Structure 1
Amino acid sequence: MRIGLAANRLHHASEDAALFRWLRACEPGIRELQLGLHAVGRTHDAIAAAGMLAGYRGLHRYPYGRDGGLMKLVAEVVGLEDDGQMRELDGAIYLIDPVDPSSTFPEAVALKRQCVIHGKPFVSTVASARAWIEQERILAGFAADPGADRLFEHRDQTLALIAHDAMKPAMLAFAAAHFDLLSGFAQRIGTGTTGERLNELAWSRGWPAGTPWVQRYQSGPLGGDAQIADRVLERHCQRVVFFEDPHVARQHEADIQLLERAVTTVTDDAVCATSPAMATRWMAAVAKRQAARGD
């Protein structure tokens, strides 16, 4: 598996920065998975300077961002043929500092968009990156890492379920397919119409009539994304499944960005899935991990 890797300056500026916290926790898993990490220049150089992933042949250096490194990650997420060889990434880990202007550059926005369009993981927080490595380890047949337990203790967590109009059928299908596992969360929250339709689904599945399966907030355009962003910032919501439609302009784009910024602000605590493919793979890992541990 080949994954693009980038981190804004804040996340590799000190010994305890986010990039290094993630690598210290996940280096054994990265090596077990033989994961190819295709790192933009400054991120690669910071890893090397810190002496991490020493001797690991799966770490590859791309140009600096200013020289097109992030643009190359975008192109390879899409996939392209070069001299008869296919260059394609299976997703991207981009540890975002929400107040770094470069996180809003076209190539940064395009990286996420192309991952969502092609059903590939886009991982933007330390917690998400930690959980993603554990997910892939479990699906590859490795034993559960106790160090990742807190990320999978869903009985104490709140889950946000959000979907844009064109993605609402996909959200309903996802909830129906994984209803029992999703019901294991302490609480589920959602915006407007998505929450209403999820409650109707839950009642049809035997959830107590009149008792909300999802606590509904306002619709997205009326501020629901902002309300859930506050829950994330207060660390009262640990998981966000946000099925975005990358093909349409959205009137409440600022609210959507606000929620995304909230997730990356609490980078060690919030885990986010941005596509049905990513969320479905997470559920498969949850089920397998729980079965192996006898939960």
Structure 2
Amino acid sequence: MNIALIAHDKKKDEMERLALAYRNILEKHTLFATGTTGQRIIDATGLPVHRFKSGPLGGDQQIGAYVSGNKMDLIIFLRDPLTAQAHEPDISALLRLSDVYEIPLATNLGTAEILLRGLDAGFLQWRDLNRGKDRDKLRF
């Protein structure tokens, strides 16, 4: 599965801790991230991460393009709801696209943990249906 990892500045430490705690799950998947967040995950975990531009420079929009192209399966976006973001319209657009294309999205550690554990347990196999993969192997 393709997983996007995004964290606002005040949430980057939390994203590092999450990636370290769930490294054994994340290593089984293809990881994407916005610029600085991706580098911090690479440095903390040693996992390969495809890095897009930073959020304010269009990274959120690049991930949104993957969402609309059915190339993203799960997004963990640790948002800072208490700090104004200059690129708020881009953030809102990414959240809207996640809803339109039914991409599971976590915006806090609690939901991120549930999604990662569900992913590991096989609860996101329906994403394979959306991509047309292994239709005959899926059992719910």
Q: TM-score, normalised by structure 2?
A: 0.82
In structure 2, the partner of 1:264 is 99
Match for residue 278 of structure 1 among 111, 118, 124: 111
Q: Distance in 2 between matches of 1:286 and 1:239?
A: 9
Which structure exhibits the higher relative contact order, with contacts defined as CA atoms closer than 8 Å and separated by 6 or more residues? 2
In structure 2, the partner of 1:57 is none
Go from structure 1 to structure 2 and tell me whether the alpha carbon gap of 1:280 and 1:227 turns closer, same or farther (over 3 Å shift): same
Whether 2:36 is the aligned partner of 1:201: answer no
Q: Which letter does structure 2 place at the counterpart of 1:201?
A: A
Q: Which letter does structure 2 place at the counterpart of 1:238?
A: D
SS in structure 2 of the partner of residue 248 of structure 1: coil
In structure 2, the partner of 1:70 is none
Go from structure 1 to structure 2 and tell me whether the alpha carbon gap of 1:230 and 1:169 turns closer, same or farther (over 3 Å shift): same
Q: Report the alpha carbon displacement of residue 283 of structure 1 after superposing the two structures with TM.
A: 2.9
Q: Report the alpha carbon displacement of residue 199 of structure 1 after superposing the two structures with TM.
A: 1.0
Q: Report the alpha carbon displacement of residue 239 of structure 1 after superposing the two structures with TM.
A: 0.5
In structure 2, the partner of 1:178 is 22
Q: Report the alpha carbon displacement of residue 171 of structure 1 after superposing the two structures with TM.
A: 0.4
Q: Report the alpha carbon displacement of residue 190 of structure 1 after superposing the two structures with TM.
A: 0.5
Asked if the contact 1:242–1:275 (Cα under 8 Å) also holds between the matched residues in 2, the reply is: yes
Match for residue 56 of structure 2 among 221, 225, 234: 221
The number of residues matched between the two structures is: 122
Sequence identity (%): 34
Whether 2:81 is the aligned partner of 1:237: answer no
Asked if the contact 1:191–1:220 (Cα under 8 Å) also holds between the matched residues in 2, the reply is: yes
Q: Which letter does structure 2 place at the counterpart of 1:197?
A: R
Q: Report the alpha carbon displacement of residue 165 of structure 1 after superposing the two structures with TM.
A: 0.5
Q: Distance in 1 between matches of 2:26 and 2:75?
A: 12
Q: Distance in 2 between matches of 1:232 and 1:285?
A: 20
Q: TM-score, normalised by structure 1?
A: 0.40
- 1:241-256 equivalences under 5 Å are 241-256=76-91
In structure 2, the partner of 1:67 is none
Q: Report the alpha carbon displacement of residue 226 of structure 1 after superposing the two structures with TM.
A: 0.3
Note the residue ranges of structure 1 that are not aligned, 5 or more in a row: 1-156, 208-212, 291-295
1:90-115 CA distance string (max 9 Å, x none) = xxxxxxxxxxxxxxxxxxxxxxxxxx
1:119-172 CA distance string (max 9 Å, x none) = xxxxxxxxxxxxxxxxxxxxxxxxxxxxxxxxxxxxxx1000000000001100
In structure 2, the partner of 1:166 is 10
Higher-Rg member (1/2): 1
RMSD of aligned Cα (Å): 1.4
1:34-56 CA distance string (max 9 Å, x none) = xxxxxxxxxxxxxxxxxxxxxxx
Q: Distance in 1 between matches of 2:117 and 2:95?
A: 24
SS in structure 2 of the partner of residue 162 of structure 1: strand
Q: Which letter does structure 2 place at the counterpart of 1:173?
A: R
Q: Distance in 1 between matches of 2:3 and 2:117?
A: 17
